[in-house]
Amino acid sequence: MSAVLAALGFMALIVLHELGHFAAAKAVGMRVERFALFFPPLLLRKKVGETEYALGAIPLGGYVKISGMNPDEKLPDDVRTRAYYSQPVWKRIVVIAAGPAVNLVLALVLLVVFLWLIGPREATDRVGALEPALPAAGVLEPGDRLLAVDGERGDPIDLSEAIADHTCSQRPPEGGCEAATPAMLTVERDAEPLAVWITPVYDPIEERTRVGFRYAEGPRSPFSFGESLDLALEQFWIVTRETVKLPLYLLDAERRDEISGVVGSYEITRLEISDDLENGVRILAFISLALAIINLFPFLPLDGGHIFWAVVEKIRRKPVSYATMERAGVVGFMLVMVLFLIGFTNDIGRLTGEGFDNIR
């Protein structure tokens, strides 16, 4: 069931994105030839007015076909006046920006709904899931209550920081290196205190040492609407900032391993939904936001590439040649494909190896 819900969530994000393009094109008077739910081969099609509405066989989203997206396209006179490249720059920008705009608004709405009507789960001081490959496995047990680290008590954040204070002797630390000293964890098990010694290991993704467990989650605690809006905007900014940095990850071997693709995003969504259905709302909000930001990168064939060249045309006060845009599109397409292939390769590696827990 979680797999079906995750797939439906992904399709909804993409279809709503395309619906934004479609509604904007209709609103500014462009000629929309086809609005398709799913990709060809087409199973059903029905023409209403000048637009064909279709249902494809491959459930991977949808698309909008607007007349004249290629400026060299030969069109009848009655069609040419309403073609994409016959329209003023501002209309073209509105139509192209409408898709990402839908995803941006949807992301903010979903985040506010999650924080206001559902709420994140409260943190507890009890051990939840253990990561099999890390030192806590076989030493701690789910349900243990963590009381102190090295004799010092505190809240879960304080105790995590105390574990992270046990650092590797080598500088800079490398993935998998053990801390120079073990940490003494005092836990309560079966109503009795118990001291255990665990040597943390360095996690290059978290950039700190850890022993490998997640705290068990408590009941949900929704925020007020005002608090939800403030928190949603804060998270909105954090995800936007990190997504914008994505092309820079190509230059950093360590950060390249963090890039995730469609497979990874789907699997994270499925895992979150299987753990707790309501968590899917928050994850889909983040994916919708990332989808919008990536689409706004100024490279063809992404939406941001079309907007970029429309702005260039406005500044130059004359159209940009299609050949120039084609050449730029090749560079943009190569960059998009490199990101896709790295993300896909990382996802396959996680599926066949350590799984997706490390990026959750």
User: Where does residue 255 rank: exposed (0-12), middle (13-18), buried (19+ CB within 10 A)?
Assistant: middle
- Taking the C-alpha atoms of residue 229 and residue 357, their distance in angstroms, rounded to an integer, is 28
Q: Is 112 left (phi over 0), alpha (psi -120 to 50) or beta?
A: alpha
Set 18, 131, 267, 272: catalytic member: 18
Query: What would you report as the CA-atom Rg of the chain, rounded to the nearest whole angstrom?
Result: 25
Asked whether the CA dihedral 268, 274, 279, 281 is positive or negative, the reply is positive
Q: Which candidate, 180, 193, 192, places its Cα nearest to that of 148?
A: 193
Please, are residues 289 and 244 in contact by the beta-carbon 8 Å criterion? no
Distances (CA, A) of 110 to 7, 278, 289: 17, 11, 10
- Count of residues for the chain? 360
> Which residue in this structure is represented by tokens 């889909």?
284
How far apart are the C-alpha atoms of 277 and 210, rounded to whole Å? Answer: 28
- To the query of whether residue 18 is one of the catalytic residues in this protein, the response is yes
CB of 303 closer than 8 Å to CB of 99: yes
Rounded-to-integer distance, Cα 347 and Cα 178, Å: 26
- Please report which helix (H) or strand (E) contains residue 48, including its range: strand 32-48
Query: CA-CA distance, 32 to 83, in Å (whole number)?
Result: 9
Q: Which residues are catalytically annotated?
A: 18
